[in-house]
Amino acid sequence: MKSKATILLCIISVLLFNVNLLAQGNPIINLEVDTENIDENNIDETATFGQASEIKNKDFTLDVKIGDVIIWKGSATPDSGGLVRIKLFKHDEGVKLLGAGRISEQNGTGVVVGKVQEGTPGDIEKYSIKFEVRKRGSQTWTEYTIDPKLKLIPQD
């Protein structure tokens, strides 16, 4: 009977620990790109974070908390079929919430990962994301830049 209680206590502890981990913010920001139609003149129309169409990329703001691990990744729209890779996070202005001026992709994966390390609630970081697009059937990558924001919000 004592071993059943111990096992039950262990299971409950593991479940509570996992719920706590999931409660921490680890936002994945997916930049979806129409790889067949993007060019320098239509980036806001062909590359979005899933925000409403009236919100331009420069006005897209992600609310973050200290300790959040943010993952930026790219994907092609279902009909375009090309490839997208995120190359660089670059601080432009405001507080360096991630504690770094530049964060490059991880080992050629096309994914950039950063952790919110500092700041006070209300702080905003304006940054640039450099990403590359390869159209379906092409071997050439073309680089583009967008400039969204991070905003630090209070911990729960």
Whats the size of the chain, residue-wise? 156
> pLDDT tens, 51-97?
998 999 999 999 999 999 999 999 999 999 999 999 999 999 999 99
Distances (CA, A) of 149 to 18, 96, 97, 139: 30, 11, 11, 31
13 pLDDT higher than 80? no
Phi-psi region of 91 (alpha: psi -120 to 50; beta: other; left: phi over 0): beta
Distances (CA, A) of 90 to 13, 80, 132: 40, 27, 15
Distances (CA, A) of 32 to 17, 134, 137, 149: 33, 13, 19, 17
Task: Give me the residue label for tokens 């973050």.
Answer: 64
Share of the chain above pLDDT 90, in %: 79
25 band by pLDDT with thresholds 50, 70 and 90: confident
9 pLDDT higher than 50? no
Is residue 127 a contact partner of residue 90, using CB atoms and an 8 Å limit? yes
**What average pLDDT does the chain have?**
87
Task: Specify the CATH architecture of the domain 26-152.
Answer: Sandwich (2.60)
Residue 24: the pLDDT is 57
Q: What are the sequence ranges of the domains in the chain?
A: 26-152
- C-alpha Rg value of the chain to the nearest Å: 19
8 band by pLDDT with thresholds 50, 70 and 90: very low
Distance CA 8, CA 27 (A): 32
Higher pLDDT, 136 or 17: 136
